[in-house]
Chains A and B, each alone.
Chain A
Amino acid sequence: MRDHPLVQLTLARMREFYREPEAIFWVFGFPIVLAFALGIAFRNRGPGELRVAVLRGAGDSAMATALARAPGLTAAVLDSAEARLQLRTGRVALLVVPGDPLVYRYDSTRTESRLARLEADEVLQRARGRADPARVADQRITEPGSRYIDFLIPGLLGMNLMGSGLWGVGFSVVQARTKKLLKRFMATPMRRSHYLLSFILSRLVFLFLEVAALVGFGWWVFHVGVRGSFAAVAFITVLGALSFAGLGMLVASRARTIEAVSGLMNLVMLPMWILSGTFFSYARFPDAMQPFVKALPLTALNDALRAVMIDGNRLSELGTPLGIVTAWGVVSFVVALQIFRWR
C-alpha cells in the first residue's frame, strides 16, 4: 500500500509543500491575517461621531451648542476659508451656513455627509420649535450573521480555495516541467493518471487543514458561525478545491517557465479577486455585467458558501452555483488532459 505509486507521488507532493515555509504562509497564514485585519477594520461600530461645522455668522455659537448636544454629533464654529478646507478634505461631514434660508453645504455622494445633514436638520428644526407628531422608541441590535466579517469569512474561504488550487497545482507542474522531472517520470512506467491524481489527493489533505484553520479562526475570534450543516460546507469546499485544481492543471498544461505560468495565473485570478464578491458584494457592478460575473467559478463558489454558512441553505437549494463550479472543473480538466505537455 505504502509503495503504491499514487501514495508515493502524493507523499512527494505533500512533502514538497510543507517543506516550503513560504507556501505554508500563503495558504494558511495569509487568509487568517487578512480576515483578522479586515474584521478589525470593518467591525460594526456604526458611523461613529459625525463632525459638523457652523460658519461664523449671526447666532453661530448657539447653533453649534445645540448641534453638539445631540448624540453622535460634534460641532465647531469655523471661518469661511478653514470651513471650506475641512469640508473639502472630509474632516467635517457638513457645513451649516446660518441665515435665512439656512444652508447645508455637503457632498451628497458621501453617506456620512447625508447622515450628518439629516441629523443636523433634525436638531436645528427641533431647536426652532418643531414638534414630532408620533412617539418613537429605538431598539438596537448587532447580530452575528449580518456583520461584515460574516460576509467576509466565506469569501476568503472561496478565494483561498482558488489561490491554493491554482498555485498548488500549476506551480508544481510547471516546476517539474522546467526541471525536466516530468520528462524523467515519462521515462518510467508511471501512469499519467497517477501523476495527476496525486495533485488532487494532496490538495484534499491540505484542504481540510485550510478550511479548518480559517473557519475555526472566524468562529474563535469573531464568533462567525456556520448556520447550515458542516457536511454541506465540506461538500462545497471539496467541490471547489477539485474545480480549481482542474483550472490550475489547465493553466499549467502548456507553460514552460515559471514566469509564464505566474502571468497566466494572475490573469485568471485577478478578475475573480475583483468581481467575484470576496470583499464586497458583486451586486455593486452594473446589471449588464451580472451574467458574466455570476458565471465565474469563484462567484458561484462564494455564493454557495455564503448560502450555507450565513443563510443556512441546504445543498439541494444550490443547484445553479454548484453546477457552475462543477462545469468549470470538468471542462478545465478534460481540456488540460488533451493539451498537456508531458515533457
Chain B
Amino acid sequence: MLAPPIHCAGLVKRYADVVAVAGLDLTVSARECFGLLGPNGAGKTTTIEILEGLTAPDRGEVEILGMRWTGGANTRALRERLGIQLQDTQLADKLTVEETVRLFRSFYRAAHSVEEVLGLVGLEEKRGAWVGKLSGGQKQRLAVACALVSRPELLFLDEPTTGLDPQSRRQLWDVIGRFRAAGGTVLLTTHYMEEAERLCDRVAIMDHGKVIALGTPRSLIASLGAEHVVEFALADGATRAPSAAELSALPGVRAVRPGLDRTALTVAEVHRAVPALLGLLERRGAELSLLATHHATLEDVFVSLTGRQLRDA
C-alpha cells in the first residue's frame, strides 16, 4: 500500500516564549483535500511550513509522500513532487507573468509548459503583464500557478484566498477543484469557514498549536447536536433578558451561548424553538432588536469549542 501523502506525529515547535505547535498528529490520505482551520496565531502556518520542510520541528516526525526531510538529493527529489504556495511571498514586480512561470518551471524536471499552467489558473491573457500590475486575485492565481507548474502530487496552500474579493476567491476554488479532479492531494490553511466547508473533505480545527477537532465538515457540525443557530438581541439590553437556564429549557434548544451583543442558541428544531423563544420574551416584556437563524457552520463549531469567535480570537 502507498504511504499517505502526509503523515506527522508529535510535532512541537517553540519560538522564544511562544509554543507555536504543541504536539500535533495528522494523516492526510491520497486525493483528499484537507483543511487546517483556526484563527490567526493558532499555529497553522508553522505547521504547514514544517510539513513543507521549510521549518525544522523541535520534536516529532514528518513523512511526506513516504519520504523524510533529510536534506541533500533526497530533499530535492521530494521537492520535485510538491507544489507550494506560501502565505506572504511577493513575486518580483518587474517580471512578466510568463517570465515568472518560466523561472519556476526551470527548477523542475517534469514541469508543465507555460501555456498549460497559465490555462490551469486562467491567466492566459495576462501572460505579458508585469506582476506588479496584476490585481490581488491575479497575483494569487499566479502564486498558485508557480506551485502547480511542477505537476505536483501534493499541493500546499497557505491561506490562498485571504484578502481576496468573493469573485477571485471563487476562481481560486475552481483552480483547486480542477487540481483535485485530476487526482491531486491538497493541504490548505484558511480562516474562512465557508471555504473549508466548500473545499475540504476533512478539516482539523486548530487553536493554540493543537488540533481541537477533526473530521468532515458535516460530522463536526453534527457534533453540535443541532443543525441550526438562532441568534437574538434585545432592544433594552440585559434588564429583561431571560436567564441561560430558562433558555436551555425551551423545546429543541441544545446549547446557549451568551455573547457580547447577542445570544446564540444551538437548535435542533427551529419551528418549535423560535415560537417558544418569542413566547418567553413576550411574557418577560422584552423587545427584540434582532432575530436571525442560520444553518450551523464550522464557525459555530469553533465558537462552541473555544467560547471565542474565529475573527477576533
Task: Identify the A interface with B (CB < 8 A).
Answer: 3-5, 7-9, 11-12, 15-16, 19-20, 179-181, 183-191, 343
How far in angstroms is the closest Cβ of chain A from B111? Answer: 9
How far in angstroms is the closest Cβ of chain A from B254? Answer: 44
* Complex Cα–Cα for A180 and B94 (A): 16
Contact B108 A12 (CB under 8 A): no
The residues of A that contact B77 with a CB separation of less than 8 Å are: 189
Contact A183 B54 (CB under 8 A): yes
Q: Which of B53, B54, B90, B105 contacts A179 (CB 8 A)?
A: B90
Contact A189 B108 (CB under 8 A): yes
- B55: nearest chain-A partner, CB-CB: A343
How far in angstroms is the closest Cβ of chain A from B91? Answer: 7
How far in angstroms is the closest Cβ of chain B from A233? Answer: 32
Query: With contacts A180-B89, A180-B90, A181-B91 known, is A4 near B107, CB below 8 A?
Result: no
Most buried by B among A7, A181, A186, A187: A187
Contact flags B178-210 to A (C-beta < 8 A → 1, else 0)? 000000000000000000000000000000000
The residues of B that contact A180 with a CB separation of less than 8 Å are: 86, 88-90
Query: With contacts A188-B79, A189-B76 known, is A11 near B89, CB below 8 A?
Result: no
How far in angstroms is the closest Cβ of chain A from B197? Answer: 28
Contact B79 A343 (CB under 8 A): no
Contact B89 A189 (CB under 8 A): no
Contact A16 B79 (CB under 8 A): no
Q: Which of A4, A19, A187 contacts B84 (CB 8 A)?
A: A187
- Which stretch from B8-16, B95-103, B167-175, B236-244 is at the chain A interface? B95-103
Contact A181 B92 (CB under 8 A): yes
Q: Does B52 contact A (CB under 8 A)?
A: yes
The residues of A that contact B99 with a CB separation of less than 8 Å are: 11-12, 15
Task: Identify the B interface with A (CB < 8 A).
Answer: 52-54, 76-77, 79-80, 82, 84, 86, 88-92, 94-95, 99, 102-108, 146, 150
Query: With contacts A180-B89, A183-B54, A183-B89 known, is A188 near B104, CB below 8 A?
Result: yes
The residues of B that contact A16 with a CB separation of less than 8 Å are: 92, 94-95
Query: With contacts A12-B92, A15-B95, A343-B54 known, is A187 near B106, CB below 8 A?
Result: no
Contact A3 B94 (CB under 8 A): no
Q: Which of A12, A185, A191 contacts B95 (CB 8 A)?
A: A12
Q: Which of A8, A9, A19, A187 contacts B52 (CB 8 A)?
A: A187
Most buried by A among B95, B105, B107, B146: B107
Contact B107 A190 (CB under 8 A): yes
User: Given A4-B106, A180-B86, A190-B107, 4 more contacts at CB 8 Å?
Assistant: A15-B94, A15-B95, A15-B99, A188-B108
* Complex Cα–Cα for A11 and B76 (A): 23
The residues of B that contact A9 with a CB separation of less than 8 Å are: 103, 106
The residues of B that contact A184 with a CB separation of less than 8 Å are: 84, 86, 89, 91, 146
How far in angstroms is the closest Cβ of chain A from B252? Answer: 50
- A191: nearest chain-B partner, CB-CB: B76
- A172: nearest chain-B partner, CB-CB: B92
Contact B94 A8 (CB under 8 A): no
How far in angstroms is the closest Cβ of chain B from A258? Answer: 13
How far in angstroms is the closest Cβ of chain A from B40? Answer: 17
Contact B103 A19 (CB under 8 A): no
The residues of B that contact A7 with a CB separation of less than 8 Å are: 106
Query: With contacts A19-B94, A181-B89 known, is A186 near B54, CB below 8 A?
Result: yes
- B80: nearest chain-A partner, CB-CB: A189
Contact A8 B89 (CB under 8 A): no
* Complex Cα–Cα for A180 and B105 (A): 18
Query: With contacts A180-B88, A183-B89, A184-B89 known, is A5 near B54, CB below 8 A?
Result: no
The residues of A that contact B108 with a CB separation of less than 8 Å are: 188-189
Contact B92 A8 (CB under 8 A): no
In the A-B complex, the 7 residue pairs with the smallest Cβ-Cβ separation, listed nearest first, are A8-B106, A179-B90, A189-B79, A187-B84, A19-B94, A188-B107, A189-B76
* Complex Cα–Cα for A8 and B52 (A): 24
The residues of A that contact B146 with a CB separation of less than 8 Å are: 184
- B53: nearest chain-A partner, CB-CB: A187
* Complex Cα–Cα for A227 and B99 (A): 44
The residues of A that contact B89 with a CB separation of less than 8 Å are: 179-181, 183-184
The residues of B that contact A181 with a CB separation of less than 8 Å are: 89-92
- B147: nearest chain-A partner, CB-CB: A187
* Complex Cα–Cα for A190 and B150 (A): 12
Q: Which of A3, A179, A185 contacts B102 (CB 8 A)?
A: A3
Can you list 19 A-B contacts with CB-CB less than 8 angstroms, sorted by A residue number? A5-B106, A5-B107, A7-B106, A11-B99, A15-B95, A16-B94, A19-B94, A179-B89, A183-B86, A184-B89, A186-B54, A187-B79, A187-B82, A187-B84, A188-B79, A188-B104, A188-B107, A189-B79, A191-B76
